[in-house]
C-alpha cells in the first residue's frame, strides 16, 4: 500500500540537509527522513492541515518556515519560536505565509497569501 503525504515546499539551501514542508516538517540527512511536528510547540493538536508548512528558507543560524495559519516559525538548534501576525500588525488568521527569502543584507522577505509584503530582520520590522 502506498501512503501519500501532502508536500508544499522543498529547500536545499543547507549543505547536508534537505528540508521539506508539508502537513508536518521533514528533513533528510544521508537518505534518512526525520519528521518534526512544530505545531505541538504551539499546543495545536487539531486542524493541523491548516498549520502546514508552505515556505522554507535557511540562513547561517536558523531555518525559517512559514505556515498557512500559525504564522512564521524559527528553528534554531532544537528550539522553536513563532511570530503569529500581531508582531507585524496582521491578524493571525490572515498571516498565511506563501514565500520566504533572505536577501544579502540578512533581511527576511515575507510574502503572504493576502498580499502583504514584509521585510524583517532579527532586530526590527523593516517595512
Domains in the chain, please, with CATH?
7-120 (2.130.10.10)
Please spell the DSSP secondary structure of the chain, one letter per residue: ------EEEEE--SSS-EEEEESSEEEEETTEEEEE-GGGGGT--S-GGGG-EEEEEE-SS-EEEEESSS-EEEEETTEEEEE-SGGGT--GGG--EEEEEE-TTSPEEEEETTS-EEEE-SS-B--
- pLDDT at site 69: 74
- pLDDT at site 77: 79
Write out the three cell numbers for 44: 495545536
- pLDDT at site 71: 81
- pLDDT at site 50: 67
- pLDDT at site 48: 66
Cβ density class 27-48: b for 16+ within 10 Å, e for less: beeeeeeeebebbeeeebeeee
- pLDDT at site 99: 92
Q: Which residues of the chain have pLDDT under 70?
A: 1-4, 13-14, 41-42, 46-50, 123-127
Handedness of CA 46, 70, 10, 112 (dihedral sign): positive
- pLDDT at site 2: 55
| Predicted TM-score (pTM) of this structure | 0.80
- pLDDT at site 109: 93
Amino acid at each position: 500500500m502506498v501512503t501519500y503525504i501532502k508536500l508544499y515546499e522543498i529547500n536545499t539551501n543547507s549543505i547536508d540537509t534537505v528540508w521539506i514542508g508539508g502537513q508536518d516538517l521533514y528533513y533528510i540527512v544521508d537518505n534518512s527522513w526525520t519528521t518534526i511536528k512544530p505545531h505541538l510547540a504551539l499546543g495545536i493538536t487539531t486542524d493541523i492541515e491548516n498549520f502546514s508548512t508552505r515556505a522554507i528558507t535557511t540562513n547561517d543560524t536558523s531555518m525559517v518556515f512559514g505556515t498557512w495559519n500559525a504564522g512564521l516559525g524559527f528553528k534554531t538548534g532544537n528550539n522553536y519560536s513563532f511570530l503569529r501576525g500581531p508582531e507585524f500588525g496582521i491578524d493571525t488568521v490572515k498571516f498565511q505565509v506563501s514565500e520566504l527569502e533572505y536577501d544579502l543584507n540578512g533581511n527576511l522577505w515575507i510574502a503572504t497569501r493576502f498580499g502583504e509584503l514584509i521585510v524583517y530582520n532579527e532586530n526590527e520590522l523593516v517595512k
